[in-house]
Amino acid sequence: MIGYVTVGTNDLARATAFYDALFATISGKRVFASPQGVVWSLSRISPGFGVFIPFDGKPATNCNGSMVALAMLSKKHVDDFYAKAISLGAIDEGQRDHNARFYINYFRDLDGNKLGAYYMEERRTKRRQG
């Protein structure tokens, strides 16, 4: 359903360096770059994540209550991605194991945008007898 999502930055060079290093942990690559912003994705047909200087010329701000959640392939990938973000200067917003199937770690990037890296196990359904 989602094609891409973007967050704002006031320092594109700093944000680009942060996300280049962070997305490298999950084989994310740049699929678009301009003087205004950069987009990363796992492929040209996968959803993308972009960071842009606001087009209206006003300072970028982060929204209270807004968050971007990025799907990972395992709990280990969640932990590795989160650890890399923290090592790059991200702010810890907590680690959660909400239930047996849903696992997420939260952080804020260098501009204060809130992100979550999550893993959700597939639901195992029981077949009805009869």
Instruction: Give 114's pLDDT tier (boundaries 50, 70, 90).
Output: very high
Dist. CA 119–CA 13, nearest whole Å: 30
Determine, yes or no, domain membership for 113. yes
Dist. CA 62–CA 17, nearest whole Å: 19
Instruction: Give 41's pLDDT tier (boundaries 50, 70, 90).
Output: very high
Q: Report, in this order, helix, strand and coil percent for the chain, each rounded to 5.
A: 20, 35, 45
Determine, yes or no, domain membership for 58. no
Q: How many domains does the chain have?
A: 1
Cβ neighbours of residue 54 under 8 Å, at least 6 residues apart? Answer: 8, 60
Per-residue pLDDT at 40 exceeds 80: yes
Domain of residue 13, residue span: 4-53+67-120
Whole-prediction pTM:
0.85
Task: Supply the CATH number for residue 16's domain.
Answer: 3.10.180.10
| Helix (H/G/I), strand (E/B), else coil: 128 | coil
Name the amino acid, one letter, at 9. Answer: T
Return the pLDDT at 129: 59
